[in-house]
């Protein structure tokens, strides 16, 4: 049965529609694209499935075609720290693939997701032969650096409203996650997992951000109305009851 098989065993080639959802595929020449398409595989991940595990050697460079993943790590005491979420259009692990080292984090599916993978050998071949691919990876690394600097800043602020606002802004990053657009399919519980707060506290922050006009809470997701306002949030004023 399919659900008894590992993610690797369930892999298959991508359809044309799935290939079109990959942002970097359109930057390749026809020859480079042919090499990449021949190697690319896709698999379905169920909620709780691990795409990557800490300590395991890198084999693929991964991207989310549909769904939502989270990046986290576990310390010696067994406590889990969540770094970020990975929504549709997001490709991750280029730093690990570049160095061909073991993963220093876990990637886990929060909901049923479609995850594509490019073998690390083909990843390096594209780096050696494609200017367009190099520029894409360079932009990825630059945006990722800014993302984690911002995350460090959020941790030091210790303000739940800012945590929610900035975390949402990170998920709407058009360079890292071009598949999101203006609406992100995410539940308040999933956002709570990513931010590290209770669902109730996340709900309070979302209501305040909606009142300020930064977002709109819709059925099954969130619509960003003012991305710059989310990124610039330094203090969310609570309404007086």
Q: What angle do CA 158, 169, 19 make, to 5 degrees?
A: 140
pLDDT at 233: 66
| Mean pLDDT score across all residues of the chain | 88
pLDDT of residue 230 exceeding 50: yes
Domain boundaries, the chain: 2-147, 158-232
Instruction: Decide if domain 2-147 falls under CATH 3.30.365.10.
Output: no
Cβ contacts of 13 within 8 Å, gap of 6 or more = 40, 41, 42
Position 99 pLDDT exceeds 70 = yes
Q: What is the pTM of this model?
A: 0.85
Residue 229: band (very low, low, confident or very high) from pLDDT cuts 50, 70, 90: confident
Q: Is pLDDT at 123 greater than 50 in this prediction?
A: yes
Residues 8-36: tens digit of each pLDDT: 888 999 999 999 999 999 999 999 999 99
Fold observed for domain 158-232: Arc Repressor Mutant, subunit A (1.10.10)
* pLDDT class of 232 with cuts at 50, 70, 90: confident
For residue 236, pLDDT over 70 is answered with no
């Amino acid at each position: 049965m399919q659900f008894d098989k590992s993610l690797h065993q369930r892999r298959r080639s991508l359809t044309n529609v799935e290939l079109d959802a990959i942002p970097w595929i359109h930057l390749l020449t026809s020859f480079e694209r042919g090499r990449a398409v021949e190697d690319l595989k896709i698999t379905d991940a169920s909620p709780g499935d691990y795409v990557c595990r800490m300590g395991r050697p890198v084999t693929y460079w991964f991207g989310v075609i549909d769904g939502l993943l989270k990046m986290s790590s576990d310390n010696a005491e067994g406590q889990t720290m969540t770094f970020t979420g990975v929504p549709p259009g997001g490709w991750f692990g280029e730093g690990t693939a570049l160095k061909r080292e073991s993963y220093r984090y876990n990637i886990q599916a929060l909901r049923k997701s479609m995850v594509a993978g490019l073998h690390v050998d083909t990843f390096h071949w594209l780096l050696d032969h494609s200017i367009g691919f190099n520029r894409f990876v360079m932009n990825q690394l630059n945006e990722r650096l800014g993302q984690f600097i911002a995350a460090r800043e959020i941790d030091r602020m210790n303000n739940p409203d800012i945590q929610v606002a900035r975390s949402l802004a990170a998920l709407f990053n058009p360079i890292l996650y071009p598949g999101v657009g203006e609406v992100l399919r995410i539940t308040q519980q999933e956002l709570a997992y990513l931010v590290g707060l209770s669902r109730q506290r996340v709900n309070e922050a979302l209501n305040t951000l909606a009142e300020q006009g930064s977002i709109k809470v819709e059925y099954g997701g969130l619509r960003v109305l003012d991305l710059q306002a989310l990124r610039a949030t330094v203090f969310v004023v609570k309404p007086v009851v």
